A and B are shown apart, each in its own frame.
Chain A
Amino acid sequence: MKGTYLGEFEEVVLLAVAIRDGDAYGAAVVNEIEQQMGRSVNLGAVHSALHRLQEKGLVKSEMGGISPERGGRRKRLYSVTAYGRRVLEEVRQLRNQMWDAIPRTAWS
């Protein structure tokens, strides 16, 4: 298993997969990110990030059923693993911990 360091974009993708719980595939993740963050992303970047996340064991994938809007093409559905969930929480906790450490005077 590769190192658990999570890049910024990887974190975003992982969160998007978590949001689209059970229906997270390439195009859906792209749409989710574009909606949430208001920035356009490339499909290649998303797939590449998904691939890396899977190699790290943060997500798993399986081939889903056929849907009509895709011209009868199958999609690969991603879901966050237990380990992926733990990593996300760790990241959040780390952020919070750092937020808490900011002295109040810093903002004034």
Chain B
Amino acid sequence: MRSAPTPPRFAQRLLRWFCAPHRLDELEGDLDELFQDRIKSVGVHRARWRYLRDVLSLMRPQFMRRQPQEYPNPSHMDMLRNYLKIAFRNLVKQKAYSFINIGGLAVGMAVAILIGLWIYDELSVNKSFQNYDRIAQLMRNRTINGETDTRAGLPIPLAQRLKDSYGESFRHVELAWWTSWHTIKLNNQVFSKSGKFMTPGVPEMLSLTMLKGSRDGLKEPGSILLSASVAQALFGDANPLHKTLTLDNTMTVNVTGVYEDIPAGNSFDDVQFIAPWALYAASTPWVNEAKDDWTNTSFEVFVELAPQATMADVSAKIKNLLANNTQVNPALKSEVLLYPMARWHLYSDWKNGVNEGGRIQFVWLFGIIGIFVLLLACINFMNLSTARSVKRAKEVGIRKAIGSRPQELIVQFFGESLLVVALAYVVALGLVYIAVPLFNQVADKHMTVPLVSPLFWVLGLGFTLLTGLIAGSYPALYLSSFKPIAVLKGTITASQFRGSSIVTPRRVLVVVQFTVSITLIIGTLVVYRQIQHAKNRPIGYSRNGLISLLLNVPHYEQQRETVRNELIRSGAVLEVGESASPLTEVRSTNGGFNWEGKDPTLQVNFGTIGISHEFGKAVGWQFSQGRDFSRKLASDSLGVVLNESAVAFMGMRDVVGKTITWTGNDFNVRFHVIGVIKDMVMDSPYEPAQPSIFFIGQTPGKFLTMRLNPERSPQASLATIGEVLKEHLPEAPFNYTFVDEEYDQKFRSEERIGTLASLFAGLAIFISCLGLFGLASFVAEQRTKEIGVRKVLGASVADLWALLSKDFVVLVSIAFGIATVIAYYSLHNWLQNYEYRTDLSWWIFAIAGVGALVITLLTVSFQAIKAALVNPVKSLRSE
């Protein structure tokens, strides 16, 4: 027996799924009846089809809509909607309060995001190099008079020794000459570019992205690799491959490759070209002579470790390579160590031969500041929410009375804080977007907001949730703990909200806020004082109108007299001097000095600066004893000028006329001292000047220092100098720098910290004041009646102002006390980094304290006076 035909099961299930339950019975009945009829009239097959069509035709909203019930049974969605509605109503009703909350949080979050981006940027420096974790630079420790210093200069034969004896530990051992400015000549155009001379394995080691040519381009001595930007500057869009250039007017090179610029901010970002080491050695006699000399530690060595080798192991193995060499002076206790690329950027300081500190301190410092600024904004939120909670008490009471459990109220208030935080986050993103260009300028960065990075959004979401939880925790837990009977009976009144149980934590939070703010203010003041202190230091020469020029010209000695005479004759400059080091840096230090009465155990390391006769006159150095070099006295070519530090180091009183001998590998010179100058600040302005010796150089100095004629405009003078140089030294590009600008560069990193710190301090105090403003307005509102009664009884406006302000002044004073201790301790430690430092005067603290107090009073007084001026009739008549 065949079973009765059935309608399509799928259609039945579909109907049961979408159809409202109260209509289902009736519609299914109709469908069934029609189905049975149609089996008879049109057959099973078509009946089933029609059944499906009918079901589909029933898919209309009117059949899906569920029947409204007489007694609503609210779902989670309904309660959430209610929470949202109440939250929005509260935000809109209390506009000032919402503004303070959202605005303050947004600023705090924006600061935290900016700092987060900055830290991310700092931590990712150099990570674009593929072999980032296996590249290292070799460093050398040496001990002079008990002090260990660490430098990157190493002898050339060390590289070969590493390859021969420890070849299995390294994939690359590469020699390099320091990144420096060189002239590149193309046809008759001369360019000045900074670059390096390195051995052929370097492009592979640094994983350079070759746009043209290959990484093997340095194998031939007469070759050069250009960065994309230099190739563009030299050749425009033409193909630079196989073009011929002249380097430093002596070396002829063929372009064998173009590599993508190394991104700014990374190591080697200033390497605009790479030329072969062999070329440099062949064209520079003293480098060629140093190829087997273990004592000439003038060169850089970079290595890439083999995959199985670790930095620590290799560092330990090669430690005594220099000390074991017979040529090296054993008294120096030389050690060789690896300086991993991962540490180059953030850990650049060396203390007693150990690599520690550097920018990482700022990463920590700013990280902590970011967290604190965000914390300040969260504290505002907590304070204002709990303070405002008196207004929400009735709501909590009613919610509890009609069945809300505490955890539901916690969800509600957390939700409310998450809503506010989410709004603040949106505003903060906008602020960050606007502030990033400015921040880049101040911090010298190239950051962008990574809007396309999913990581950024995930972090942003997590960050919002975290902030919402921190900011919302206290109000949520506090509000949900109200006893409904007490609240609704009115036994919890305004006065109880001023009771100690809630006011004390609020006071603690205000104290925390102002402690952070005042500490930041003191910190900013001290950073600026320190910079100013170093800037005001006597520098021993006059930098106004002084320009400096690097010369890379062959046979300059044939032209030097003409050039100098022509320059002076043109009236553009007063004097021209030559030196081997630029005025803002000591490039060469040497030992081997001896004098009568020298303590034999004393190890000498003098800055040695070869100069021309007129150098002193050009820079305007100041003599404390003796006299300057003179061309008229032939004996002056073996005369030397010392600086005061050197004299102090030698421990002699009347040094003028004494003999100093300088013994090197293959030379021995007897100098006589003709003068002593006041210390010139050539290196760090925060450190004492290095003991230095100035002598007449055998070869002309590479740096020309010119004193511009102050009676003529600098522009005109520069134009004249350019013409004179072009006429007599056509191969030299006129790339001058102003010495005072170079000098100011030394303050950049400190100034940057100062600017950022003041920015953050300003924002911190702004956020704190916003919170204080909100609290003060709340307190004034709470005490409206009290103020009215007091006024009726004869209180003056001043009395009322004092009444309302007193509490806050006490809090800020406590904060000031705590901040003083913290700031003194941390700043004292910071200043220890500088040899030449300002003192922590009491008045800095006084200024910060008084400033904070004044700002507090201004903030609070606005509300206090507003409240005190209200007519008591109005405030007492209400209700």
Query: Is A73 a contact of B63 with CB atoms below 8 Å?
Result: no
Query: Is B34 a contact of A31 with CB atoms below 8 Å?
Result: yes
Query: Is B34 a contact of A69 with CB atoms below 8 Å?
Result: no
Query: Is B58 a contact of A47 with CB atoms below 8 Å?
Result: yes
Q: Which residue of B lies closest to A73 (CB)?
A: B29
Query: Is B37 a contact of A71 with CB atoms below 8 Å?
Result: no
Number of A-B residue pairs at CB separation under 8 A: 61
Which residues 56-73 of A sit at the B interface, judged by CB distance below 8 A? 63, 69-71, 73
What is the distance, in angstroms, from A70's C-beta to the closest C-beta of chain B? 4
Which of B20-28, B579-587, B654-662 forms part of the interface with chain A?
B20-28
**What is the CA–CA distance of A73 and B62 in the complex, to the nearest angstrom?**
21
Query: Is B27 a contact of A71 with CB atoms below 8 Å?
Result: no
Query: Is B57 a contact of A70 with CB atoms below 8 Å?
Result: no
- Chain A residues contacting B60 (CB-CB under 8 Å) are 44, 48
- Chain B residues contacting A84 (CB-CB under 8 Å) are none
- Given A27-B37, A31-B37, does the pair A70, B54 have CB atoms closer than 8 Å? no
- Given A44-B57, A44-B59, does the pair A74, B34 have CB atoms closer than 8 Å? no
Question: In this assembly, does A43 line the interface, its C-beta being within 8 Å of a C-beta of chain B?
Answer: yes
What is the distance, in angstroms, from A59's C-beta to the closest C-beta of chain B? 15
- Given A42-B57, A43-B57, A44-B54, does the pair A71, B32 have CB atoms closer than 8 Å? yes
Query: Is A42 a contact of B30 with CB atoms below 8 Å?
Result: no
Q: Which residue of A lies closest to B33 (CB)?
A: A27
Centre residue among A40, A70, A75 by max chain B CB count within 10 A? A70
- Chain B residues contacting A43 (CB-CB under 8 Å) are 27, 30-31, 34, 54, 57-58
- Chain A residues contacting B63 (CB-CB under 8 Å) are 44, 47
**What is the CA–CA distance of A66 and B27 in the complex, to the nearest angstrom?**
14
- Interface size of A as a range: 20 to 34
Question: In this assembly, does B53 line the interface, its C-beta being within 8 Å of a C-beta of chain A?
Answer: yes
Question: In this assembly, does A45 line the interface, its C-beta being within 8 Å of a C-beta of chain B?
Answer: yes
Which residues 26-57 of A sit at the B interface, judged by CB distance below 8 A? 26-27, 30-31, 40, 42-45, 47-48, 51
**What is the CA–CA distance of A48 and B63 in the complex, to the nearest angstrom?**
9
Q: Which residue of A lies closest to B41 (CB)?
A: A34
Question: In this assembly, does B507 line the interface, its C-beta being within 8 Å of a C-beta of chain A?
Answer: no
Centre residue among B25, B29, B34, B60 by max chain A CB count within 10 A? B29
Query: Is B57 a contact of A27 with CB atoms below 8 Å?
Result: no
- Chain B residues contacting A25 (CB-CB under 8 Å) are 26, 30
What is the distance, in angstroms, from B54's C-beta to the closest C-beta of chain A? 4
What is the distance, in angstroms, from B51's C-beta to the closest C-beta of chain A? 9
Question: In this assembly, does B359 line the interface, its C-beta being within 8 Å of a C-beta of chain A?
Answer: no
- Given A26-B26, A31-B37, A51-B62, does the pair A73, B32 have CB atoms closer than 8 Å? yes
Question: In this assembly, does B36 line the interface, its C-beta being within 8 Å of a C-beta of chain A?
Answer: yes
Query: Is B32 a contact of A75 with CB atoms below 8 Å?
Result: no
**What is the CA–CA distance of A4 and B34 in the complex, to the nearest angstrom?**
30
**What is the CA–CA distance of A9 and B53 in the complex, to the nearest angstrom?**
18
Chain A interface main SS type: helix
Query: Is B53 a contact of A27 with CB atoms below 8 Å?
Result: no
What is the distance, in angstroms, from A30's C-beta to the closest C-beta of chain B? 6
**What is the CA–CA distance of A42 and B55 in the complex, to the nearest angstrom?**
9
Query: Is B53 a contact of A70 with CB atoms below 8 Å?
Result: no
Question: In this assembly, does B151 line the interface, its C-beta being within 8 Å of a C-beta of chain A?
Answer: no
Query: Is B25 a contact of A74 with CB atoms below 8 Å?
Result: yes
- Chain B residues contacting A86 (CB-CB under 8 Å) are none
Query: Is A27 a contact of B56 with CB atoms below 8 Å?
Result: no
- Chain A residues contacting B56 (CB-CB under 8 Å) are 44
What is the distance, in angstroms, from A94's C-beta to the closest C-beta of chain B? 29
- Chain A residues contacting B57 (CB-CB under 8 Å) are 42-45
Which residues 9-33 of A sit at the B interface, judged by CB distance below 8 A? 25-27, 30-31
**What is the CA–CA distance of A30 and B36 in the complex, to the nearest angstrom?**
13
**What is the CA–CA distance of A25 and B34 in the complex, to the nearest angstrom?**
11
What is the distance, in angstroms, from A36's C-beta to the closest C-beta of chain B? 15
Of the candidates A31, A44, A48, A75, the one whose C-beta lies within 8 Å of that of B29 is A75
- Chain A residues contacting B529 (CB-CB under 8 Å) are none
- Chain A residues contacting B29 (CB-CB under 8 Å) are 27, 70-71, 73-75
Of the candidates B28, B36, B50, the one whose C-beta lies within 8 Å of that of A69 is B36
Query: Is B58 a contact of A73 with CB atoms below 8 Å?
Result: no
Which residues 68-108 of A sit at the B interface, judged by CB distance below 8 A? 69-71, 73-76
- Chain B residues contacting A44 (CB-CB under 8 Å) are 54, 56-60, 63
- Chain B residues contacting A63 (CB-CB under 8 Å) are 26
What is the distance, in angstroms, from B494's C-beta to the closest C-beta of chain A? 54
Query: Is A75 a contact of B30 with CB atoms below 8 Å?
Result: yes
- Chain A residues contacting B54 (CB-CB under 8 Å) are 42-44
Query: Is B37 a contact of A48 with CB atoms below 8 Å?
Result: no
Q: Which residue of A lies closest to B24 (CB)?
A: A73
**What is the CA–CA distance of A47 and B28 in the complex, to the nearest angstrom?**
12
**What is the CA–CA distance of A47 and B26 in the complex, to the nearest angstrom?**
11
Of the candidates B25, B27, B53, the one whose C-beta lies within 8 Å of that of A42 is B53
Query: Is B62 a contact of A70 with CB atoms below 8 Å?
Result: no
**What is the CA–CA distance of A79 and B25 in the complex, to the nearest angstrom?**
20
**What is the CA–CA distance of A31 and B34 in the complex, to the nearest angstrom?**
8
- Chain B residues contacting A70 (CB-CB under 8 Å) are 29, 32-33
Centre residue among B33, B56, B59 by max chain A CB count within 10 A? B33
Query: Is A73 a contact of B28 with CB atoms below 8 Å?
Result: yes
**What is the CA–CA distance of A4 and B59 in the complex, to the nearest angstrom?**
26
Query: Is B26 a contact of A75 with CB atoms below 8 Å?
Result: yes
**What is the CA–CA distance of A97 and B28 in the complex, to the nearest angstrom?**
43
Q: Which residue of A lies closest to B56 (CB)?
A: A44
- Chain B residues contacting A27 (CB-CB under 8 Å) are 29-31, 33-34, 37
- Chain B residues contacting A47 (CB-CB under 8 Å) are 27, 30, 58, 63
What is the distance, in angstroms, from A23's C-beta to the closest C-beta of chain B? 12
Q: Which residue of B lies closest to A63 (CB)?
A: B26
What is the distance, in angstroms, from B759's C-beta to the closest C-beta of chain A? 66
**What is the CA–CA distance of A48 and B32 in the complex, to the nearest angstrom?**
18
What is the distance, in angstroms, from B638's C-beta to the closest C-beta of chain A? 115
Query: Is A26 a contact of B50 with CB atoms below 8 Å?
Result: no
Query: Is B62 a contact of A48 with CB atoms below 8 Å?
Result: yes
Q: Which residues of B contact A (CB under 8 A)?
A: 25-34, 36-37, 50, 53-54, 56-60, 62-63
Given contacts A27-B33, A43-B58, 20 further A-B contacts (CB under 8 A): A25-B26, A27-B31, A31-B37, A40-B50, A42-B57, A43-B30, A44-B54, A44-B57, A44-B58, A44-B59, A47-B30, A48-B62, A51-B62, A63-B26, A69-B33, A69-B36, A70-B29, A71-B29, A75-B29, A75-B30
Listed A/B pairs (11) with beta-carbon separation below 8 Å: A27-B37, A40-B50, A44-B54, A44-B56, A44-B59, A44-B63, A47-B30, A47-B58, A51-B62, A73-B26, A73-B32
Q: Which residues of A contact B (CB under 8 A)?
A: 25-27, 30-31, 40, 42-45, 47-48, 51, 63, 69-71, 73-76
List the 6 shortest-distance A-B pairs measured between CB atoms, nearest first.
A44-B57, A73-B29, A42-B57, A26-B30, A43-B54, A27-B33
